[in-house]
Amino acid sequence: MGLWTAAGIILRRELKSYFQSPIAYVFLVGFLLLVGFLTFMVGGFFEMGQADLRFFFFWHPWVYLLLVPAASMRLWAEERKSGTIELLLTLPVTLPQTIVAKFLAAWLFLILALVLTGPIVLTVLYLGNPDVGVIVAGYIGSALLAGAYLSVGLFASALTRNQVISFVVALLICLFLLLAGWPPVVSMFTRWAPDWLVRTVAAFGVMPYFESATRGVLDIRDMAYFVSVMIVMLLATHWTVENRKGS
């Protein structure tokens, strides 16, 4: 069995495991209901009188803040709790391939949830003539944001066998990334902190990079930020699992 074949088996196993329990369906239904409610009710879509998805994408960082850690908390914690991690690590596949396979399986699941919001896009297209390019860029930015949050969740799951602790750790790290670049938080730091500290804190925040995508701008620097977060978190996951395997 080739290494990539074994990695593909792990990817399919992880993706299939979501749908072998009610977790996937609860997540998908919860995500769609929450996004729909926030877009049409809280965001005042119909009262706004403008056919665009500005408020649809506005809520994604906050919705992902709760749902992505919930979707990722079992990825490594369940393996350790059930004792299958020892078997997994003896398979003819490298640890980096196992980590990437788990990450891609969960990311595909999140992208599926995002794709299922298609009726909202069709509604906007029916009611008006929005800029399709902006919508596509927003979806790409949302998928990258979900991937960044997911890489954090994967790392948090590798830290412990307790899924609740994994969820809380991932939520706190993602909350830091969300608030670090949020204008009100940056303004608060500006009042008392030196410029270099303000710039450092703001550089970690996801909001400026995500907001660029929702405006239809796919800057290479914004995409590099999300990819960098994923790489750093996946490397941290590798280090954590490797150390625990050695001990």
Type of residue found at 171: L
Dihedral sign for Cα 104, 246, 169, 207, please.
negative
Domain layout of the chain by residue ranges:
3-246
DSSP string for residues in 74-111: TTTHHHHHHTHHHHHHTSSS-HHHHHHHHHHHHHHHHH
pLDDT tens column, 172-218: 999 988 888 777 777 777 777 777 777 777 778 888 889 889 888 88
Q: How far is the C-alpha of 79 from the C-alpha of 101, rounded, in Å?
A: 14
pLDDT tens column, 206-246: 888 898 898 888 889 889 999 999 999 999 998 988 886 65
What's the whole-number average pLDDT of the chain? 83
Q: How far is the C-alpha of 48 from the C-alpha of 64, rounded, in Å?
A: 24
Task: Name the H helices within 116-206.
Answer: 118-127, 132-159, 163-180, 183-190, 195-204
The answer, as to whether pTM is greater than 0.75, is: yes
Q: Write down the pLDDT at residue 22.
A: 80
**Residue 81 in contact with residue 164, Cβ under 8 Å?**
no
**Residue 61 in contact with residue 178, Cβ under 8 Å?**
yes
Quick check: 162 pLDDT over 50? Answer: yes
Dihedral sign for Cα 139, 142, 147, 150, please.
negative
